[in-house]
Structure 1
């Protein structure tokens, strides 16, 4: 909580001449009930020259926080803030720092760090082309081709330097040419157990549509072209008075309600994990290039009696550090959910989101994360049931500064005024000095990360605003106003 005890009397003395000219109260005196007041009846903000001549940077931060308590945009909001010194392990300034709040996409800070800690910066997903059977003297493969996936969330997307489907298919075709295969007398079998089957349950209270963005859970190997997937919008029945629309994905056959729909009736998306699309594209390309395939593309999740197979070609995804950089810079929800399932599979052998959440929360607990107020429901932050406190975020980010992967993690964060989702914030003051993950849902705006002060210090901060009034741009301006004086600490 903001504390003006240390400097309020000096402010009153040094600025008394200025304050007497104001129409509001001329002096502010400390009383026993002072700390329990939500805000101070301070005069209108004085000019920056007078402020800086009288007040320290910390005092300016505190006054800005106090001013926001009565700001029309934030006065009825639920919000919390903390600036933390990682060297002294002390709070510099705070407000409601122990209040659990909806973190939105700053949840990705927890997901990406867990993946980096448990899997390592150089972890890669493999997608392999193999064949069974034998090749005769005419180049006919009497056997099957296998595309063996591992849940690569970047497969065919061009994200983080990932290859396109066309590039992967070209490499696979080249592999068959090297093996002398001119015809395939068999099937193309998709085999991946990581994201097998349909997702059984969506994250609680998840947001599927926010400001014209949509969310689709990762994971399926059904024979569906992801480029043609549609989220179908239908009007709700007359009995659901407060719910007007629902969404159905062919990947999980589940209905999700929403209060509002701003689209045109059909949404089109791509699914990050889509080996079926790769396999179908591969088959089409083979046929067009004169390599006949007599069989069809078919999934085969488990195989009690696997055939002996030979490796033809192996595609490696970008490194985990590359994937995390892209995830945090672009706040990519699909990649974040894939990371959640990957850590669950690698540690518990189960591809469900529930296993992923268990792995993340157990990891955070083992690293000393302040679990009070934490509710971790998904990997991306789209669930409104996610909760975390500002002080927990700040201490978590502080603890990472001693990790061997800290530099890679730090570099993955958007930079104020320069990159990612922070490119349009801190364009003036703070440009190149704020390194943080943003979060945005309807009436939720959050920011958490690090700042390099003008004196060369590194400070950690968290600022989360829920249920604000006005526009998101209004909130951004107030967030900047709160944080900018901290750059002089």
Structure 2
């Protein structure tokens, strides 16, 4: 039995519910005629009989909430869409603007992470190896080079998803040299990796450079610098009509700006050139430990005449399943962009973002993704040029339920009231029942995933709000209100 008092806060809402009970369509439109007529309606008292209180179904309550949100001050001027979908019947239960292309923000990661799982498999790992060339004499001097051979591990040195820190990896490398009896290196430390080698890469158009006090960079080299900080170099209102904040990126060699700055002049970067930083830190550690290195750290992306080399140590990353879990739970943008480039490299042999986009969109077409309204610009969802429709999101999520990696994919999603970016949503109703990817940009809030109903059914939903009024917390509360009666479907 549905207790409609839980969801209906006023007589006007109840009246619209009686209109909806006569309707067979899933999309509810706000009626101005209803506004003009509501004062003449003979409405039942809130304290009516049990039989009268059960006239509204769970579906009608969902529709009522959608209907009332159209006049809500926060959403009435917004561009938003909603779908709740039954994967068994393949039918829409309730919807609003289901075919409208909207900015998906970080729900874009649903597409990126699934493509990586499909192409690489959940047990895929990246390997970073330490090798040496030449010979070791009786004094322990290596007359040759050390090689740090990377494979594009996006978690290298980050501690993310259980990845080792740089210190741990270097300690393992040092142990390998000790086993080989190397006490001096008469040569260079050569970084060799064919992945992510571009010195200057640009983010997709309309990327938010500063979002929630984090400065996002494209995947690219930082050469020999520790990418701990970037500096605010100018704060001046005279350059343009509105106040802007300017930053110089030493990694992309360009000046960028943000509309808002909240910090002390230091901006944290997201993605270093991990092999370069690892190799330089490794050399420093060797010297401090009394193992002299006569040469320098130098990159060698390609090698026409490779030296014969011996493996000293091999570090394996966490599995792709572990990395995708971390990516979706924390909405990690740098990992998502690296997964995009990894997909491009694996399929086309090219580590650029453009190749990644080609591979992802091609994969989606092969999986019968509804391409109408799709504009896939990056792997993370930072670009405001990304677009997707709510109906295509739910049909895509539905199609994955038969995939062998579905359990890994499903488990990677934050859980309402319990984990990841959903830990502070659905604290009451929906706690432990909403499994979804969140998305947040300025004036963009999105949510897409799966819903476990009180009767044990699994439903699929998408809810995307663009250009809302008020605060993001206000939008979150309205999202919760829209989805709450769906728990009784």
Query: The residue matched to 2:247 in structure 1 has which SS?
Result: strand
Contact 1:103 1:439 in 2 (8 A): yes
Contact 1:154 1:273 in 2 (8 A): no
> What residue in structure 1 maps to residue 175 of structure 2?
174
> What residue in structure 2 maps to residue 434 of structure 1?
434
Query: The residue matched to 1:151 in structure 2 has which SS?
Result: coil
Contact 1:188 1:298 in 2 (8 A): yes
Contact 2:249 2:256 in 1 (8 A): no
User: How far apart are residue 162 of structure 1 and its match?
Assistant: 0.2
User: How far apart are residue 197 of structure 1 and its match?
Assistant: 2.3
Q: 1:48 to 1:293 in 2, by over 3 A?
A: farther
User: How far apart are residue 28 of structure 1 and its match?
Assistant: 5.5
Q: Comparing 45-54 with 427-436, which one deviates more in the overlay?
A: 45-54
Q: 1:425 to 1:52 in 2, by over 3 A?
A: farther
> What residue in structure 2 maps to residue 247 of structure 1?
247
> What residue in structure 1 maps to residue 409 of structure 2?
409
Q: 1:464 to 1:19 in 2, by over 3 A?
A: closer
Query: The residue matched to 2:223 in structure 1 has which SS?
Result: coil
Q: CA RMSD in A?
A: 2.7
Contact 1:77 1:469 in 2 (8 A): yes
Q: 1:188 to 1:435 in 2, by over 3 A?
A: same
For 2:121 and 2:47, locate their aligned partners in 1 and report how far apart those are by CA, in whole Å.
47
Contact 2:337 2:379 in 1 (8 A): yes
User: How far apart are residue 53 of structure 1 and its match?
Assistant: 2.4
For 1:446 and 1:231, locate their aligned partners in 2 and report how far apart those are by CA, in whole Å.
31
For 1:84 and 1:478, locate their aligned partners in 2 and report how far apart those are by CA, in whole Å.
19
Contact 2:17 2:61 in 1 (8 A): no
Q: 1:255 to 1:287 in 2, by over 3 A?
A: same
> What residue in structure 2 maps to residue 391 of structure 1?
391
State the aligned residue count: 469
Contact 2:201 2:218 in 1 (8 A): no
Query: The residue matched to 1:269 in structure 2 has which SS?
Result: coil
> What residue in structure 2 maps to residue 209 of structure 1?
210
Q: 1:270 to 1:101 in 2, by over 3 A?
A: closer
For 1:309 and 1:48, locate their aligned partners in 2 and report how far apart those are by CA, in whole Å.
84
For 2:486 and 2:422, locate their aligned partners in 1 and report how far apart those are by CA, in whole Å.
18
For 1:411 and 1:36, locate their aligned partners in 2 and report how far apart those are by CA, in whole Å.
33
Alignment of 1:305-384 (within 5 A): 305-384=305-384
Q: Which deviations, in whole Å up to 9, do the C-alpha atoms of 1:103-143 show, x marking residues without a partner?
A: 00000000000000001101111110000110111111000
Query: Is 1:277 paired with 2:282?
Result: no
Given the two structures, how large is their TM-score scaled by the length of structure 2?
A: 0.90
Q: Which deviations, in whole Å up to 9, do the C-alpha atoms of 1:70-115 show, x marking residues without a partner?
A: 0011000000000000000000000000000000000000000000
User: How far apart are residue 26 of structure 1 and its match?
Assistant: 12
Q: Which deviations, in whole Å up to 9, do the C-alpha atoms of 1:430-486 show, x marking residues without a partner?
A: 110000000001110000000110111000000000011111111111000000100
- Which sections of structure 1, spanning at least 5 residues, go unmatched? 1-10
- Which sections of structure 2, spanning at least 5 residues, go unmatched? none
For 2:226 and 2:240, locate their aligned partners in 1 and report how far apart those are by CA, in whole Å.
33
Given the two structures, how large is their TM-score scaled by the length of structure 1?
A: 0.90
Query: The residue matched to 2:465 in structure 1 has which SS?
Result: strand
> What residue in structure 2 maps to residue 140 of structure 1?
141
